[in-house]
Amino acid sequence: MRPASLALLLSLSGPALAQSLRVERAPVSVAARFTQGPFQATRLLANGQEDTSGQPLGLTVTAGAGRAVLSASPTAGVSSWANVLQLDVPAGQSRSPPFYLRAQATGAQSFTVAAPSSAAAPATATFTVTDPALGDDFETGSVTLQSTPPGRWTSITAGQGTVEALAAAAHRGAYGLHCVDPAGTSSSNFPASVSHVVDPFPGDLSLRCWLRLMSFSESEHVRLFKVDLDAFAAGAFELVLSPQRRLYVTAWDAQNFYFGSQSDAGTLPVGSWHLLEVTRRGTSSAAATTDAFLDGELVSSVQPLDVRGQRYGSVNFGAFFENDVTAAMTVDVDDARVSTAPQATFLEVQVPPSSATSCVPFTVSLRDVFGAQVPAPYALDLVAPVGVQGPFGDPACTAAGTIAQGTVVATRYASTASSELLAGFTHPDFIPRPVRSDGGTSPVDAGPGDGGLADGGSRDARPLAVGCGCGAGGSGVGPGVLLWLGLAAARRRARRR
């Protein structure tokens, strides 16, 4: 997930010998609004070796006004970020302090590093900015941007607990995030989570991760996902785990009124992996929706709210906040992603009619919880079922069948004696949903924690209560809210028919 390295050389003319600067980890592609870095300028001798003998050298890093901002700290407040940053390479040292970048607009951009006291021409790093997004599979073994090698998060909040990348916490790959909130008398309500502080932005937002609840001893409610507004002024929305291990979503409107909805569906089991998602859509209207999903099934919704004017300032995963500071819990997190659109939930395999050939074609696509096809977030290697060889990328069943990042629909091939076996292709990051040749679905029951339903059966999210619906203007649940509860339950039941 780290940005590719790109070495940039800047010639510096001096009275004694020629020098140059090198910018480490200059970005090739970055996501808007999310913090990128660290970057660092290194002073070099003419032979390419690091120069530790020179005089102090002042550097100016400049990004396009309105295009990107810079800071010496990834967690600095919004007012500390600007499009011009001054740095110094100290005397006797070769490297500048690290610095960080937040792109504010998509498209082609650049930043420059210059040494104003020299006669050298500035060096320019060019890169492409994509829509706001964050993805971490924790495969670096690191968590924060300040780690070596750098992780993806700006900070860890641990109270008296621990947050670290461990092999034993992986859902897939080599590492996952392990969050431990031990029993005790901690005075912190923020036990064990990771945060990414962003350059504030409005709009739709989607959070997802695979989560395994290893232990849970809570008498109060714990926030697993939390999105805060600019400068932590207030909350935007959150995914909460109740003492009965039920999942529900809560949200604030633009006037900072708080709304929540519990459900008798969506109980989170202990000891198995499950896909958790929260989506906020329709933020440009006066009726934004906020929904929570467990293993691809809707389990909680907040009534449509007017959230226009809200700007997100941070996203948080783990055991972010608890009411009972003496309680304990342990969670593992993997494949955490944030984006401005709903993300891939289902792996859909189109199974063809019976074929006389031994190399059988089939199609693969990813879909979100609302049924839309979405591009692959990274290169995918499918897992073949027993009795099938593949997938392959050609009709001869000889070429590798990796699905490239960004692919929406892919045709792949497999060597099998029965095309019906193709329905068993899977990927650990997505819930399998095969489609028969007649267009019907043939769900694969992979079991709890591996893409199956948490309880092995069907769900119908029926809200039981509204958390507050109150704010500075008062409290209570009005008739309009109760009417919405009935309509929402009916809408969710209809969605499943």
Domain annotation covers residue 107: yes
438-445 contacts, C-beta under 8 A, 24 or more apart: 442/351
Domain annotation covers residue 452: no
Domain annotation covers residue 191: yes
- All residue ranges of the chain with pLDDT < 70 are 1-18, 119-121, 184-190, 231-233, 262-265, 322-325, 354-356, 436-497
Statement to judge: residues 317 and 352 lie in one domain: no
Contacts of 435 (CB under 8 A, 6+ apart): 348, 349, 350, 351, 441, 442
- Taking alpha carbons only, the member of 34, 41, 54 closest to residue 106 is 34
414 is in which domain, residue-wise? 346-432
Statement to judge: residues 279 and 157 lie in one domain: yes
Statement to judge: residues 115 and 167 lie in one domain: no
Statement to judge: residues 314 and 248 lie in one domain: yes
Residue 232: the pLDDT is 58
Residue 49 CA to chain centroid, in angstroms? 38
Q: How far apart are the first and last CA of the chain?
A: 39
Alpha-carbon radius of gyration of the chain: 25
Which CATH number do you get for residue 85? 2.60.40.10
User: Tokens 């207030």 belong to which residue?
Assistant: 234
Domain annotation covers residue 366: yes
pTM of the model: 0.84
Domain annotation covers residue 220: yes
Domain annotation covers residue 456: no
Residue 354: the pLDDT is 67
Statement to judge: residues 198 and 282 lie in one domain: yes
Statement to judge: residues 471 and 323 lie in one domain: yes
Statement to judge: residues 221 and 357 lie in one domain: no
Total domains in the chain come to 3
Last residue of a domain, one of 89, 116, 131: 131
Residue 109: the pLDDT is 95
Statement to judge: residues 61 and 123 lie in one domain: yes
Domain annotation covers residue 354: yes
Statement to judge: residues 185 and 334 lie in one domain: yes
Average pLDDT, the chain: 82
Statement to judge: residues 123 and 20 lie in one domain: yes
Residue 65: both structure tokens together: 């006004």
Last residue of a domain, one of 432, 450, 478: 432
Statement to judge: residues 248 and 362 lie in one domain: no
Residue 213: the pLDDT is 95
Statement to judge: residues 49 and 146 lie in one domain: no
Last residue of a domain, one of 131, 158, 192: 131
Domain annotation covers residue 292: yes
Residue 217: the pLDDT is 83
Which CATH number do you get for residue 479? 2.60.120.200
